């Protein structure tokens, strides 16, 4: 199986080079492996750093760097790598979507390739993501909906137990299993999936684009599987700075809320999206009140309650006044 790896770099050249280096041993089993790095107009010297690094004999025959004229977001960058690959006279059999903040454990790509080869109904296979010390991260998920949004906002133990089958993050498991969608940090996609449902929607600047893509793939009849035999270190949030663990995150950017709204409108309709937004907001408001009464610290982003309300329920003009953005 011929694989083209697509990595979108934005101000993370050292991480990207680390991800490429971890791919090098896979070429012994996959001599046709190629990598396209989309440099998303970082304007911090990343383009020059990457071009200089891949010009060396170790990388020049299988890695190329494409500089973008502007930063159109993650999905736009992925499409800039996948699109030309699909247009080749002899296109790749599959595309590995890989984050810069990843390091492949030995055999990680081979495990995904072998799974697709032996499971012809599977269109997308995702890796087990883990911390550097091997601690497993959540990498397989259910598609979000009304009940998952209520649970995510409410954060109440007995409710979460009642809604366990609706929670977005699936329980951690060590066996390969079918799932709704897998983390886009490392996912192998058959060429036929792109050919049938199209590229990623570059209307998503960042976040929810892989959820949307895999939802469209599922609607087209393709199975998505979590393959823990493929192990990949994920340095969570290092490349974006938006999602972090264990400390207060920065304020959520406007594009996170816009991407969220775009996903729910597409897959749940206008009224369904509104119901999902209200379920989350009312649940989250209840959680905030409980937190204040019990004087518990919050690790949520600053201004999140206000920003969520403004982006989901106010007209654009009022939103700018309320959020200052």
Digit-coded pLDDT (tens) for 48-83: 999 999 999 999 999 999 999 999 999 999 999 999
Residue 248 confidence class, pLDDT cut points 50, 70, 90 = low
Residue with structure tokens 């050249």? Answer: 13
- For 199, the 3-state DSSP assignment is coil
Question: CA-based angle 101:261:178, to the nearest 5?
Answer: 55
Please give the CATH number for the structural domain made up of 3-136+172-234: 3.90.550.60
Residue with structure tokens 């809320």? Answer: 257
Residue 298 confidence class, pLDDT cut points 50, 70, 90 = confident
What integer is the mean pLDDT of 151-161? 95
What pTM was estimated for this model as a whole?
0.94
- For 177, the 3-state DSSP assignment is strand
Residue 191 CA to residue 95 CA, distance in Å, equals 7
What integer is the mean pLDDT of 104-114? 98
Domain ranges of the chain: 3-136+172-234, 254-323
Is there a contact between 136 and 130 (Cβ–Cβ < 8 Å)? Answer: yes
Is there a contact between 44 and 27 (Cβ–Cβ < 8 Å)? Answer: no
- For 73, the 3-state DSSP assignment is coil
Which pair of structure tokens corresponds to residue 201?
């929607």
* Burial 70-96, CB ≥16 within 10 A → b, else e: ebbbbbbbbbbbbeebeeeeebbbbbb
């Amino acid at each position: 199986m011929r694989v083209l790896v697509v990595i979108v770099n934005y101000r993370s050249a050292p991480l990207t080079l680390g991800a490429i280096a971890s791919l090098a041993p896979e070429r012994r089993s996959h001599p046709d492996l190629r990598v396209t790095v989309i440099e998303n107009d970082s304007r911090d010297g990343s383009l020059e750093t990457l071009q200089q690094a891949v010009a060396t004999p170790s990388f020049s025959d299988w890695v190329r760097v494409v500089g973008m004229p502007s930063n159109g977001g993650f999905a736009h960058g992925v499409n800039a790598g996948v699109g030309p690959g699909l247009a080749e006279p002899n296109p790749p059999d599959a595309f590995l979507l890989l984050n810069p903040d990843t390091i492949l454990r030995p055999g990680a790509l081979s495990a995904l390739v072998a799974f697709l080869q032996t499971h012809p109904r599977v269109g997308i296979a995702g890796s087990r993501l883990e911390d550097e010390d091997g601690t497993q991260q959540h990498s397989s998920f259910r598609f979000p909906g009304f009940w998952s949004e209520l649970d995510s906002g409410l954060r109440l133990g007995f409710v979460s137990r009642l809604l366990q089958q609706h929670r977005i993050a699936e329980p951690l498991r060590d066996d390969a299993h079918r799932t709704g969608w897998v983390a886009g940090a490392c996912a192998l996609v058959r060429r036929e999936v792109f050919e049938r449902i199209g590229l990623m929607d570059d209307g998503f600047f960042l976040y929810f684009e892989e959820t949307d893509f895999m939802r469209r793939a599922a609607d087209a009849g393709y199975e998505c599987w979590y393959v823990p035999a493929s192990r990949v270190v994920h340095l969570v949030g290092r490349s974006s700075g938006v999602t972090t663990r264990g400390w207060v995150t920065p304020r959520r950017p406007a594009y996170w809320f816009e991407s969220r709204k775009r996903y729910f409108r597409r897959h749940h309709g206008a009224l369904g999206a509104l119901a999902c937004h209200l379920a989350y907001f009312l649940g989250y408001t209840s959680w905030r009140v409980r937190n204040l009464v019990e004087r518990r610290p919050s690790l949520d982003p600053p201004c999140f309650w206000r920003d969520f309300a403004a982006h989901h329920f106010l007209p654009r003009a009022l939103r700018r006044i309320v959020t200052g953005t």
